[in-house]
Amino acid sequence: MSKESVTPSPIHQIGLVSVESSTIDKVSLYVGRAEITRTFEVEVKTGQNQVQISGLPTVLDKDSLRVEGRGLASILGVAVSDVSASTPGLSPSLSSLEDRQEVTQKAITRCTKAITAIGVYLGTLDARSLGPEHLGPLIDAYETQAEKLDLKLLKLQAEFKELNNQISLERAVWVAKQRQGGLLGKMATIDIFVETEGKVELVLIYAVGQASWSAVYDIRADMSRDNNSLKLVYKAAITQSTGESWDSVSLTLETVTPTFGATLPELDPWRVGVYKPPPASNTSNQLPGRRYFSQMTDKSMSAEPMSRERDRERSGGGAEAWYESMLEYPIKHRETVVANQGNLNASFQVPGFITVPSDGEVHTVTVVELQLEATMAWIGIPRAVPKVHIKAKIKNASNFPLLNGRASVYVDGSFVSKTTVPEVSPQESFDCSLGVDPSIRLTYHPLSKNSSESGFYNKSSSRTYSQHITVHNTKNITVRDLTIIDHVPLSEDSQVAIKLVKPALSPPPAASSAMSSMKIITKSEKTPAPLQVGENVTAQWDGDDPQDDVSAIGREGRIAWKCVLAPQSKANIALVWEVSAPSNVTITGL
């Protein structure tokens, strides 16, 4: 009985071009990457089918591609390969335009020569040899023929210019096709098996580079109303040059990029020993400073490794650098690849459908508009700049985390400044500068001085300085939190004594020899209470961070006046201090 051989059925080959045979359904955009979801509808036959999809982005990550089948089909295998991009030839329309341009150029040359020839011929004629009966008709014939040639030349030049414009457009299309071919250089080969021929859906999901987004904001404050709210417009600045145009896609913005190849750092053993200098064969060749190192104490040998490393960087080499290299800081961190670090983990679904072409340009879309609570404060430092700045403490009362990004600030509908929004979680607060408020005016009056002398044998001189500041609120609302900051000088010499006369504040915690008339107050003591110096005006010492460190208050000699100004009202602030020193001492810095 003979054994019949079984002939395998042929594999059905299907060729598709990605941008022509599918649409992008969804884009998940990360910082530096994007995940694309494409859907293909494929006519398959019974048995094994091989689908080759060309025109996929060159920046496609091969390891990220996955394929999902929808229908009665089984996916047997998926492979991604590079395809060499073929340079497209010139289009027939471009060749035709170039031929017409060449013909027009030749016609322009002929017309120009004809005009020149008529002029040359007319110049060879002798008017004396021609009778009056011939001269008139000859000139008329010249005028007629020259006019025809001039009109023809103008028409040919206009036609040449129009052809040149059309050729430029066609060449731009040709260059774009060349560039597109270079950006779409990947091909996916998918083997599928079906039991019944028909249509199946293939969904390709893959990651691409050359795409990113960042947060940008518009902060809009209305200072004409006495309220504590402002509008924050949350935007996304998107760029992509993947080779694929995202046309009317559903866009999701992701704040965390997937991490690839992240490993924990290793902590190597930290070993120390006793320095043993190598034997010196010749004292003349001994390194400079070697004797110094041989006499180093145990205390210097136990110096903190990081300090030694910084000292070695400052030394720039030599014997000390050679010695320090013997005690290299032994903790080594292996490089960890993190695609994005520090951002808050959230996803934003952009409303509607978004179109982002592959042009590398910035395209801005609005994510959401938020109405947020804000506490306004006004701060002026007239000695530096006679202007009042607005500072807002904004609470993110929404469910949207704010990412680090640039913000454009608008006050009463006018653009005033640029600022930066930090990373802020929901229900957290952040400080934001809103620029200068021109409706609060500062006048920093000229400084007045009075001098006097005292003593008979040991004469001393004294100078009193008076500084006056006027604040004018021209608003129609009350300004409830206005701070004016100025300072008094600090003495750097025990012979020079500085005394604060007005406002008569108690000594600050930071008082030292810099202000000789004040005692030193320890951290355990309480912050001096504000001093009432006028109607709705108090004065107090100003510090960098008085909540954490009471001793920081008044450290730089700064004084802060807290004001509450009614509409159209003014406040007058006075700062008076006295500087005393022996008469024979010359004081600098005043």
Residue at 208: amino acid letter: V
Highest mean pLDDT among 130-144, 461-475, 529-543: 461-475
- Tell me, yes or no, whether 152 and 195 share the same domain: no
Residue 162, in any domain of the structure: yes
* Stated pTM of the model: 0.61
For the stretch 445-498, pLDDT in tens is 999 988 877 755 567 788 899 999 999 999 888 898 999 999 998 888 888 888
- Assess if residue 221 is contained within a domain: yes
Residue 248 Rama label (left phi>0; alpha psi -120 to 50; beta): left
Same-domain status, 507 and 568: yes
Asked if 328 and 361 sit in the same domain, the reply is no
Among 570, 503, 501, 565, CA closest to 531: 503
Instruction: Tell whether 216 and 356 lie within a shared domain.
Output: yes
> For tokens 């041989």, what's the residue?
294
Identify any residues that bridge with 250 across adjacent strands, giving them in sequence order: 26
Answer whether residue 504 is part of any domain: yes
Asked if residues 243 and 211 have their Cβ atoms less than 8 Å apart, the reply is no
- Name the burial class of residue 485, with classes exposed (0-12), middle (13-18) and buried (19+) by CB atoms within 10 angstroms of its CB: middle
92, two tokens: 């027939």
pLDDT at 498: 87
Whether 420 and 405 have beta carbons less than 8 Å apart is answered as yes
Residue 286: inside a domain, yes or no? no
Rounded Cα distance between 107 and 156, Å, is 7
324's CB contacts (< 8 A; 6+ apart) are: 308, 309, 311, 312, 315
Listed residue (370, 373, 349) closest to 227, CA to CA: 373
Quote the tokens at residue 588: 């600098």
* Beta-sheet pairing, 47-56 with 12-17: parallel
The span from the CA of 20 to the CA of 40, in Å, is 10
**Owner of token pair 């001039």:** 150
The DSSP annotation for 140-152 comes to HHHHHHHHHHHHH
Q: What is the pLDDT of residues 551-576, one digit of tens each?
A: 667 778 889 999 999 999 999 999 99
Distance of CA 414 to the CA centre of its chain: 23
Is the pLDDT confidence value at 352 over 70? yes
Reply yes or no on whether the pLDDT at 179 is more than 70: no
**What average pLDDT score do residues 309-330 get?**
38
Closest CA to 27 of 249, 183, 243, 236: 249
Predicted pLDDT of residue 27: 93
β partners of residue 579: 463, 498
The pLDDT of residue 182 is 66
Nearest to 52 by CA among 29, 26, 32, 78: 78
What is the extent of the structural domain holding 568?
441-582
User: Coil, helix or strand for 81?
Assistant: strand
Query: Model confidence over 498-522: pLDDT tens digits?
Result: 889 999 888 766 554 444 444 333 4
Residue that is written with structure tokens 């609302």 in the block: 477
Establish if 270 belongs to a structural domain: no
Same domain, 350 and 364: yes
Report yes or no: 392 and 227 within 8 Å, Cβ to Cβ: no
| Same domain as 144, residue 103 | yes
Same domain, 452 and 512: yes
Residue 364 lies in a domain: yes
Residue 218, Cβ density class (10 Å: 0-12 exposed, 13-18 middle, ≥19 buried)? middle
Residues 504 and 543 reside in one and the same domain: yes
- Examine residue 390 and state whether it is found in any structural domain, yes or no: no
Give the three-class secondary structure for 285: helix
How many domains are there within the chain? 5
> Residue 360, SS3?
coil
Specify whether 450 is located in the same domain as 563.
yes
Whether the Cβ atoms of residue 531 and residue 540 lie closer than 8 Å to each other: yes
Report the alpha-carbon angle 528-540-502, nearest 5.
Answer: 110
pLDDT in tens, 210-244: 899 999 999 998 877 766 778 999 999 999 988 88
Tell me how far the alpha carbon of residue 558 is from its chain's centroid.
35
Same domain, 225 and 138: no
Contact 528/505 with Cβ under 8 angstroms?
yes
- 356/252 same-domain check: yes
Structure-token match 């960042």, residue found? 214
Backbone angles phi, psi at 235, to 5 degrees: -125, 165
- Rounded to 10 degrees, what is the CA torsion of 137, 143, 149, 150? 180
For residues 402 and 506, membership in a common domain is answered with: no
- 235: burial class by Cβ within 10 Å (0-12, 13-18, 19+)? buried
Rounded Cα distance, 288 and 504, in Å: 60
Burial of 207 (0-12, 13-18, 19+ CB in 10 A): buried
Q: What does the pLDDT look like over 412-426, one tens digit per residue?
A: 888 888 889 999 888
Q: Is the model more confident about 5 or about 197?
A: 197
Residue 389 maps to a domain: no
- Beta partners for 460? 454, 582
Last residue of a domain, one of 208, 243, 277: 208
